[in-house]
Structure 1
Amino acid sequence: MAPNPQTPEEPQDDPAAYAGLDAESAERLARERGWSSVRSLPPGALITMEYRFGRLNFEVADGVVRRSWKG
């Protein structure tokens, strides 16, 4: 029987902590904290809904992170 695949670990980080930061600083901080992928999106962007371990999404308006979420 094949072993169950290992789920990659994500940083122990609160995505809400990035709200209000400028996008460039937020991305740099996220990478320092261990996020392997950081995606910046404009408000209302159409995106795929697949969950990707290690990815942090930012909704950015006027150069500022308005919200962020994992996946």
Structure 2
Amino acid sequence: MAPLPTPPSQPEDTHDSYVGLLAESAEERARERGWTTVRSLPPGTMITLEYVAGRLNFEVENGRVTRCWPG
């Protein structure tokens, strides 16, 4: 039987720590912590649900992060 693949690693990070930050500061912090892709989205944006390791998503309203999730 073939071994199970090892998923790519991603930074150990607390996603809630980004909520409330200015979008630019949050993106800078995420990149410093090792996230390879950072995506900022307005509230209610329709997105596909494919998971991308190393990507951090921000929902941004009025220039501030209101929600954050990996993938």
TM-score by length of 2: 0.92
Structure 1 unpaired stretches of 5+: none
Q: How many residues align?
A: 71
Letter in 1 for 2:30: A
Partner in structure 2 of residue 18 of structure 1: 18
RMSD (CA atoms): 1.2
TM-score by length of 1: 0.92
Distance 1:4 1:17 in 2: 32
Partner in structure 2 of residue 56 of structure 1: 56
Distance 2:4 2:12 in 1: 23
Distance 1:14 1:50 in 2: 21
Q: CA deviation at 1:28?
A: 0.3
Q: Secondary structure of the equivalent of 2:31? A: helix
Percent identity of equivalent pairs: 62
Structure 2 unpaired stretches of 5+: none
Q: CA deviation at 1:38?
A: 0.3
Tell me which stretches of 4 or more aligned residues in structure 1 moved more than 2 Å.
1-6
